[in-house]
Amino acid sequence: SKIRWRIIVYSGKGGVGKSTISAGLAYGFSKIGKTGILDADVTGPNIFKMIGAMEPLYGENEEIIPVEIKGIKLVSLGLILPEGQPVIWRGPLRTTAVRQFIKDVRWGDLDFLVADLPPGTGDEAITALTDFEPHAAVIVTTPQKIALMDAQRSIVMARNLGIKNIYLIENMSFLRCPQCGHEIDLYGRGRARELAEKMNTNFIGEVPLVPELIKASDEGRLLETLENTELGSLFQEISRKIIDDLEKSTSP
């Protein structure tokens, strides 16, 4: 497999919308080139459900063959386990699963591979951060102070592991009133930008809380819902910013 750009998406804590951002970025990248999603969150795989990928994975010649939905390739443990089956594995087995997903998938030629990592700084996250050899890391946070504390740790971790292109994105930044269009500050909008400035890290954007997207994710319609919408355009804009930075960083 030839993969031009590998981008990881992770967070210091769960519940900040990491998988939604991963799917949104993959949507944005897919408008530019061939794209895949690696769901490396082995204990909480759910991207497959969000984008409506229900076909099970299969293997061929000791390689995993991704499924494809709306032109995006996907590998997820959720496409192997029976629905509702928890992953009751100890650390070494979870780490082995992450490593296998990274090394043993027949992606073919891709322009972009987005990896949705487990939250936190545990063994699986470290394995993914090192074995995946990412060109960029997108750290997801909400404006809440507790989430920002974990985001700061994630930035430090990415730097310590040698990742040069690090981005911070503020999810659930605000809610736009459907009647008047007024933007409602829910958790302290703008704090992620302040953290990015403090840490000398790229701030890549504010993503609003969109109730329609939550419903669409539950119904497996996330990708369709992003089409021809302001939020879909935002994800395309963010994806383009990342690509432009990566190309600049590798140009002579």
For the stretch 210-223, pLDDT in tens is 999 999 999 999 99
User: What pTM does this model have?
Assistant: 0.92
- The per-residue pLDDT for 87 is 63
Angle at 187 between CA 183 and CA 193, to 5 degrees: 85
Q: Do residues 20 and 129 touch, judged by C-beta distance below 8 A?
A: no
Q: Where are the domains of the chain?
A: 3-250
Query: What does the longest C-alpha to C-alpha distance in the chain come to?
Result: 57
Pairing of strands 67-69, 72-76: antiparallel
Q: What are the respective helix, strand and coil percentages of the chain, to the nearest 5?
A: 40, 25, 35
Which one is predicted more confidently, 17 or 126?
17
- Topology of domain 3-250, per CATH? Rossmann fold (3.40.50)
* Residue 100 confidence class, pLDDT cut points 50, 70, 90: confident
Residue 174, strand partner residues: 185
- Mean pLDDT for the stretch of residues 15-36: 96
pLDDT per residue over 221-249, tens digit each? Answer: 999 999 999 999 999 999 999 999 999 98
Beta-strand runs (E) in the chain: 3-10, 35-39, 58-60, 63-65, 67-69, 72-76, 110-116, 136-141, 165-171, 174-176, 183-185, 202-207
* Residue 85 confidence class, pLDDT cut points 50, 70, 90: low
Q: Is 90 exceeded by the pLDDT of residue 4?
A: yes
